[in-house]
Amino acid sequence: MQIAIIEDDAVVARAICTAAKEAGHTCTLFEDGQRATENAAILASDVVVLDLMLPKRQGIDILREARQEGVRTPVIVLTALGTVPNKLEAFEAGADDYLVKPFAMDELLARLEAIHRRNIHRPAMELRVGPLHLNLANKRVAIDERTVELTPTEFSMLELLMRYQGQVVTRKMLCEHVWGFDWDGPTNVIEVHINRLRGKIDRGRDESLVRTIRGRGYALAAD
């Protein structure tokens, strides 16, 4: 596995690289955001470890731009910023995982390997359910041939609902799919995003495609 480490703390970066090499991986170090961008680090790697507070160019800007350009390389954010708003911003920008400093090296390596496995065994790139068409490659969604602009969070939620079409998707499942397996924030934030998603895909419909299953979660009923 080729790992790009975009981290301005030389001690931390070298420690990660040493551990990664001992685990059989290769890595490239970038000490600032501008260098990483110029060298297309995200494109050239299997997995990226990205600090948010970087000189010259912030990590969140690098991540957001890469996702907007359709780059799907897995990214794990490694930062001292550990509040829920910080995490939400990173996941909204397209992060695959989030780890707060100080961290355990074994945990970071385990997360990197898990993300890499998920990327290798990535499921179908296009989903079609009723009038809905979702393309994972270019992050586009269409309904009845009408293009719908979704935020990264809305897109991820719709993807999960489409994969489980006709089945109940719980709020916890949605949180873990969007914000990571160790999500410890409130699940009621899901309702806000679901309502926004409905407003975009239900235009002109008498009944929402995303049904609320009281006390359980949501289900996509695209019939």
Q: What is the CATH number of the domain that holds 185?
A: 1.10.10.10
User: What are 33-60's pLDDT values in tens digits?
Assistant: 888 887 777 777 889 999 999 988 899 9
Cβ neighbours of residue 186 under 8 Å, at least 6 residues apart?
none
Residues 36 and 62: beta-carbon distance below 8 Å: yes
Same structural domain for residues 23 and 88? yes
In order of 120, 151, 195, the CA distances from 145 in angstroms are: 30, 19, 22
Q: What is the pLDDT, as a whole number, of residue 139?
A: 85
**Number of domains observed in the structure of the chain:** 2
Tell me the residue range of the domain where 131 lies. 126-220
Do 137 and 105 reside in the same domain of the chain? no
Same domain, 112 and 150: no
d(CA 142, CA 157): 15
Work out the angle at residue 149's Cα, subtended by the Cα atoms of residues 146 and 153, and round it to the nearest 5 degrees.
Answer: 135
**β-bridge pairing 75-79 and 97-100:** parallel
For 150-173, what is the mean pLDDT? 88
- The residue among 52, 87, 120 that closes a domain is 120
Instruction: Decide: 58 and 33 in contact? Cβ < 8 Å.
Output: yes
Domain shared by 111 and 140, yes or no: no
For residue 31, the 8-state DSSP code is S
**213 secondary structure, DSSP code:** E
Shared domain for 116 and 132, answered yes or no, is no
Q: Are 135 and 63 within one domain? A: no
Final residue belonging to a domain, choices 120, 144, 166: 120
One domain, residues 26 and 78 = yes
Q: Are residues 22 and 90 in the same domain?
A: yes
Give the Cα separation of 53 and 80 in Å (integer).
9
Q: Are 132 and 222 in contact (CB under 8 A)?
A: yes
Same domain, 101 and 158: no
pLDDT digits (tens, 9 = 90+) for 56-103: 889 999 999 888 877 778 999 999 999 999 999 999 999 999 999 999
CA distance 88 to 91: 5
Residue of 200 and 72 predicted with greater confidence = 200
pTM of the model: 0.57
Point out the domain boundary residue: 120, 136, 167: 120
Does one domain contain both 140 and 200? yes
CATH number of the domain enclosing 68: 3.40.50.2300
Q: What is the pLDDT of residue 144?
A: 85
Q: Which residues are within 8 A (CB) of 54 and not within 5 positions of it... i.e. 6 or more apart? A: 6, 7, 8, 32, 33, 62
Phi, psi of 146 (to 5 degrees): -95, 125
Least confident window among 128-137, 147-156, 172-181: 172-181
Q: Are residues 143 and 66 in the same domain?
A: no
Pair (18, 109) in one structural domain: yes
